[in-house]
A and B are shown apart, each in its own frame.
Chain A
């Protein structure tokens, strides 16, 4: 288990993803991410924020949730595709490169690592270390990451918003967007979004930076 300031993203390549991996026509790989959360926690919003960040970095994006009866607290799934070309595929994602778990209690009821590529990673919102959670991951042998979104969010924002730390952790672990560019784009986005509440911009940026530094990972 390692805690570090700078998680080195595992470089996914077309080869490492296997022959069946979706590729765009330039041969660059498409990154596929699946989010697990509970209704009301904002997993869908987190997937939209990640799409925003990747969009601002010049990528083609998809962000979509799986819709059904909307119930607070029920398990929900959301998805991202990030690519250098328009994504043609419009199915759900069954073999994601990364899985983000916004609520660790889901580990008991949902097979969050189903189909997850071992070259990728699972990123779990938890105060625990990754080695404590690995036994709950049904034999997943890839990288396990944890981020204490509650602690970071309370410290930076004074309230529990798991989205911002999870977003930063996914960016740090996946490397789907350049980290410096990400902070720069998010600052601009926050300044626009919170034009009438500029005081909250600093807290959100601190939350992103701290989250990227405090991801714990276990290969």
Chain B
């Protein structure tokens, strides 16, 4: 039986962690993710979990401690945001290449500068090539559910890759909303226990972890990692299917909202997707065939599936909540456009960078994007392919 509750995104993730009860939680605090270890410290102090809770001197060290624990054969977790994730950068790549399924909860926040504590995806997008699986949630419920699935995906023998559960800083992490929690025992049973095939604390199998990879071996290791990331797609769907059978909530690689006959569509991530859905509903009421795709899994990128979902649209706007300074569009646009490159007929596509550093994204703003798409779909000039919205002019 689900439990009707109201919680912030951070408390929802901390609750999921408590229910799964990892062996090690190594932490260093940073806004807006700090509440996750804060709640968890209370669970430890109250004797509700037997996790080894380690306060480290930096994020670099926190993730390094997680890697040590994972290599030893433990389930290890941490949480971070913004500059904290950047400071982990070196160790993120190590986690991926060592194939250690550590799970990081990321409350996504802008990177400096100017210094800013609010939400965008500049932190998580900067780590898109680190070898982590990345799941993004629209609200506290999806943050919780993504976390419940995270360890099983990461630890699956076909995958063995680290994973980030991304929620929107403040917008999700600090907003209190209704949520359906699952019972502790049901969550424990769903998440299972971590049984690594190879680990350092196995006296029957001495092994080296993370050794030097000379040119004769490096490329094989990287290709093996890339193949694991490809296999992760199926595992993510299998775990989602078991999740739906167990708890009743459906998840895919992305959510297609009113896409069945859509002429125009938006590709978007996170909490803004909910706001844009309200715009889609209004446009549908007016007879405009608008749809929306909310990308849940950014790594591995569901390119083929997205291309299939978008192929019948006439105009598509990709919404990037991070600025990659490529001068031709953000990371979600680059991935989505390249996914569609080999379609026989494909939609006109534009990229709009929005919501940086917590700039609000409203239903009206979403409607204005669809208005532009209506024009492009009816043959008007496409205009700038890459532009920004919501900034003050002058």
Contact = CB atoms under 8 A, between A and B. Distances in A.
Nearest to B115: A69
A25 B280 CA distance: 13
Given A22-B363, A52-B6, A67-B117, A90 B176 contact: no
Query: Which of B172, B176, B271, B360 gathers the greatest number of chain A CB atoms within 10 Å?
Result: B176
A212 B67 CA distance: 56
A64 B176 contact: yes
A178 B362 CA distance: 30
B170 A90 contact: no
A62 B275 contact: no
Contact of A91 (B139, B172, B177, B361): B361
Contacts of A90: 139, 168, 171-172, 175, 271-272, 274-275
Interface string A73-92: 00000000000001111111
Interface string B6-18: 1000000000000
Contacts, number: 65
Given A22-B278, A55-B6, A61-B6, A91 B175 contact: no
Nearest to B171: A90
B118 A67 contact: yes
A61 B177 contact: yes
A194 interface: no
Given A88-B275, A89-B274, A90-B139, A62 B360 contact: no
A173 B337 CA distance: 51
Contacts of B6: 51-52, 55, 61
Interface residues of A, number: 22
Contacts of B32: 67
A25 B285 CA distance: 11
A164 interface: no
Given A22-B363, A67-B118, A88 B274 contact: yes
B321 to A, nearest CB: 12
Contacts of A60: 177-178
A211 interface: no
B178 A91 contact: no
Nearest to A48: B176
Task: Please classify the interface of chain A as helix (H, G, I), strand (E, B), loop, or mixed, using the class held by over half of its residues.
Answer: loop
Contacts of A65: 174
A92 B174 CA distance: 13
Interface in B196-255: none
B296 interface: no
Contacts of A87: 177, 274
A88 B168 CA distance: 14
A92 B178 CA distance: 18
A110 B175 CA distance: 24
Given A51-B6, A61-B6, A64-B171, A91 B176 contact: no
B360 A88 contact: no
B277 interface: yes
Most-contacted residue by chain B among A61, A87, A91 (CB, 10 A): A91
Contacts of B177: 60-63, 86-87
A160 interface: no
A162 to B, nearest CB: 20
Nearest to B361: A91
Q: Give the residue among A62, A88, A94 with the most B Cβ atoms within 10 A.
A: A88
Nearest to B281: A25
Contacts of B139: 86, 90
Interface in B126-173: 139, 168, 170-172
Nearest to B282: A20
Nearest to B355: A91
A51 to B, nearest CB: 5
Contacts of B175: 62-64, 90
A55 B362 contact: no
A91 to B, nearest CB: 4
Interface in B172-192: 172, 174-178
A93 B275 CA distance: 12
Contacts of B362: 91-92, 94
Interface string B338-372: 00000000000000000000101111000000000
Contacts of A68: 117-118
A42 B363 CA distance: 29
A143 to B, nearest CB: 26
Given A48-B176, A88-B277, A90-B172, 11 more contacts: A22-B363, A63-B175, A63-B177, A64-B174, A64-B176, A67-B358, A86-B139, A89-B278, A90-B139, A91-B361, A94-B362
Interface of A: 22, 25, 48, 51-52, 55, 60-65, 67-68, 86-92, 94
23 contacts: A51-B6, A61-B6, A61-B176, A61-B177, A61-B178, A62-B175, A62-B176, A63-B175, A63-B177, A64-B174, A64-B176, A67-B118, A67-B174, A68-B118, A86-B178, A88-B275, A88-B277, A90-B168, A90-B172, A90-B274, A91-B275, A92-B360, A92-B362
Q: Sort A-B residue pairs by CB-CB distance and give the 5 closest, nearest first.
A: A64-B175, A88-B274, A90-B271, A91-B362, A63-B176
